[in-house]
Amino acid sequence: GCALESITDYTLVECMRGGEVLLGLKKRGLGVGKWNGFGGKVEVGESAYEGAKRELREECGLEAEDLEWRAMLLFTFRDSGKLMRVHVFVADKFKGEPVETDEMRPMWFHKSEIPYADMWADDLYWLPKLLAGDKFMAWFDYMPGGEHTNKVVDSLLVD
CB of 119 to ligand 6OG, least distance (A): 7
Closest of 87, 90, 83 to residue 73, by C-alpha: 87
Interface with ligand 6OG, residue 71, by CB under 6 A: no
For 23, the 3-state DSSP assignment is strand
Instruction: Answer for the pair 104, 27: CB distance below 8 angstroms, yes or no.
Output: yes
Interface with ligand 6OG, residue 76, by CB under 6 A: no
How far is Cα 15 from Cα 10, in angstroms, rounded to an integer? 17
How far is Cα 69 from Cα 30, in angstroms, rounded to an integer? 23
Residues numbered 22-51 forming contacts with ligand 6OG, rule: CB under 6 A:
29-31, 36, 39-41
CB of 18 to ligand 6OG, least distance (A): 22
Binding residues for ligand 6OG (CB under 6 A): 10-12, 29-31, 36, 39-41, 75, 86, 120, 122-123, 142
